[in-house]
Amino acid sequence: MAWDSLWGASLTDKAETLKRGYLVTTSVKIDTRRARFALNHSAPRFLAYCAAARFVRQHRGLLSQRSFLIVIRVPKTWEPDELVVMAKLVLKLNPEIVISKHPAKTKRGHEFDADDVLRYSRIILFAQDDIELHPDVDVAKTAETPICVNRPNHFRAISQLLGCGLLTDRDVEKLATIPAERFNSVFRIGQNASLALQRIPEPQSEQLKTFDAVIDPEKGFGEASRWARNLREDLADWRAGKIDWSEIDKGILIYGPSGTGKTRFAKALAASLNVNLVATSVTRWQSSKDGHLGDLLKAMYSTFAEATEKAPCLLFLDEFDSIGNRDRFPAQHENYLMQVVNGLLECLDGAGGREGVIVVGACNFPNRVDPALLRSGRLEKHVHFALPDADGRMEIFESYLPHLAGNDRLRKVAERMAGKTGADINQIVRGARRLARKGRRDITVADIEFLMPTVQKMSDEELFRVAVHESGHVLAADILDIGIVHSVEVYDYETLHPTEAQTHGLTIIEHRKRLVTPRATMLADIALLLAGLAAEELLLGDRSNSAGGGASSDLDRATRLTMELVTVYGLGNSLTVSFDAIDRLGTHELWRDQALREDANRVLQSEFRRVKDILNGQKRALLKMAMALKEKKRLSGAELNEFLQAKTAPLPTARSG
């Protein structure tokens, strides 16, 4: 019954007050008959009855008001339904008080119709601790208070009534952590409840539940970590009023291959800075409603408006390279795409400087992003998210497992994971935590080691081929005067593992710095990249797949450098250039041009023959170095200089192509 019969009435008569259901003087006690009825139904229902009765006793004054809306928060281990039923029973099904459950918010928003409830005068709503209240309920509520459903005396009472024995303090603590629906399996007539509790595994610790949240953005992300550290300090000064917002970096573009932790970095950064996070992607904007230009722009403006309202806020824009570059738009879509870029420029600039909003863009291909979006005041900082090196991998491990920080065995594990991403480390840590949970113990390095992928040991024949390949690079770099060779090493995957890259061998060369690069120097760089293959063919009679097969391999880099020489710098058979051809079309698309392909291949073949001739004159030194490298696995300093002394053959000059 609502206000209709009470409007304007002045209720002073005690009998009339009680008839209308007001709880003014009547004390609420445990009704033995109703409590027994609840106990016969189930253990959770009895405990809910006890909790509801206690709540009503403690809030008689509040419940006697003419109008109220009480929100009662329920622990996550309880569903509110039992409490709703028992609260109605405690209040004797009073028609003057509406008792209901506040449902959780879904992806579609609040499906709870607040108007159906708010038209009543006196309302009790049970809501779990973690749900967001309907805005109208949040405004109208008279009080918001928790309910004590896991009281020790209630647990001990039900155990005594059902003949389940005495409960220890540890038993009571454990009961408070398990879901209420499990109480029926614990409290069975005549069965020892304490023994039943011992059969229930310990609940997952809070550390295990939230290990993703402990990632430190200031560790393990290279240059981005240094930027995050400076941003944290600047943001603290801004909050303290020491600096103006104009002195803080407005945004950053993080780019690199998938799986390197760009999204994880953004989430961790928002958490560490204690700012709100708004995350979206260009694809989401494009898929808004019907995908028309107006829909996309509306979604874009809405995202920036939301971030501004939540300031200080970190706005994470994934797939940023989907925006494109205005210089490369196809004619049929140019008008549409042009307005998208212009709209984003407007949002990034902001009429008020978008104070309090830090924009983090993430992409795989930064060369596809319009340069205007990356200028000062917009996404002005650009950081490459490369695969983490050994130190970076160790920092990621330590972020997940702070109790193992500095562990030497864990460092060796990190060193063995060359070429692995932060996501790969995350997967191994999750598996190790699973092992630790099953053993009901803390995670150890042994758990990590157990889950490390098995690496096949390299045979003597394979190791010698790799040593020949790397020795070819070393001798070519020295003879062609490319730079200073610091070290060379090979990995047998038993005593030595790669730490910086996923490779079988590594030659460290410090290239000479030049402001102007002659054609001969570019040809020498190409020859250096082909020297490993040439050494294999010279000493072993054939080549292997060690120089190709992926991005950044010897052949991939040599091909790209040759395409730059021909198309970008006009140093091939033609003076015609297209400075952005490789970035715009890619080497695969350019490779379809037969004339261009023949020009580039002519350069590659010429430099391969040249470097093979060079190494043929150094065949004895090449063999000697390869045998020593196979034996020692690493050469540097004085050991390396022994093989780089005299040049026993004249240096062939670069061919014209």
Does the pTM surpass 0.85? The reply is no
* Closest listed residue to residue 328, CA positions, set 643, 650, 580: 580
Residue-wise pLDDT tens digits, 207-227:
333 334 456 788 777 788 889
Residue 607 pLDDT class (50, 70, 90 cuts): very high
Measured from the Cβ of residue 130, the count of other Cβ atoms closer than 10 Å reads 10
Residue-wise pLDDT tens digits, 250-291:
889 998 877 777 888 888 898 888 889 998 888 888 777 666
Residue 190 pLDDT class (50, 70, 90 cuts): confident
Over the range 548-566, which residues count as b (16 or more CB within 10 Å of their CB) and which as e? Answer: eeeeebbbbbbbbbbbbbb
Q: How many residues does the chain have?
A: 657
31-45, 309-323, 635-649 — which one is most confidently predicted on average? 309-323
User: Which residue type occupies 463?
Assistant: L
Gap between the terminal Cα atoms of the chain: 96
- Helices 519-540 and 554-563 sit at what angle, rounded to 10 degrees? 150
Q: Which of 218, 395, 470, 489 is catalytic?
A: 470
Q: How far apart, in Å, are the Cα atoms of 12 and each of 16, 24, 27, 64, 330?
A: 8, 12, 20, 13, 81
Compute the average pLDDT of residues 335-345.
81
Q: Is 319 a catalytic residue?
A: no
Residue-wise pLDDT tens digits, 442-480:
899 999 989 887 777 888 898 999 999 999 999 999 999
Residue 576 pLDDT class (50, 70, 90 cuts): low
Mean pLDDT for the chain? 80
User: Which residue type occupies 584?
Assistant: R
Q: Please report which helix (H) or strand (E) contains residue 477, including its range.
A: helix 460-479
CA-to-CA distance for 403 and 399, rounded, in angstroms?
9
- Backbone φ/ψ region at 92: left (φ over 0), alpha (ψ -120 to 50), beta: left
DSSP per-residue letters across 159-218: HHHTT-----HHHHHHHTTS-GGGHHHH--TTS-HHHHHHTSPPPPPHHHHTGGGG--TT
**pLDDT value at 404 more than 70:** yes
Residue-wise pLDDT tens digits, 108-121:
667 777 888 888 88
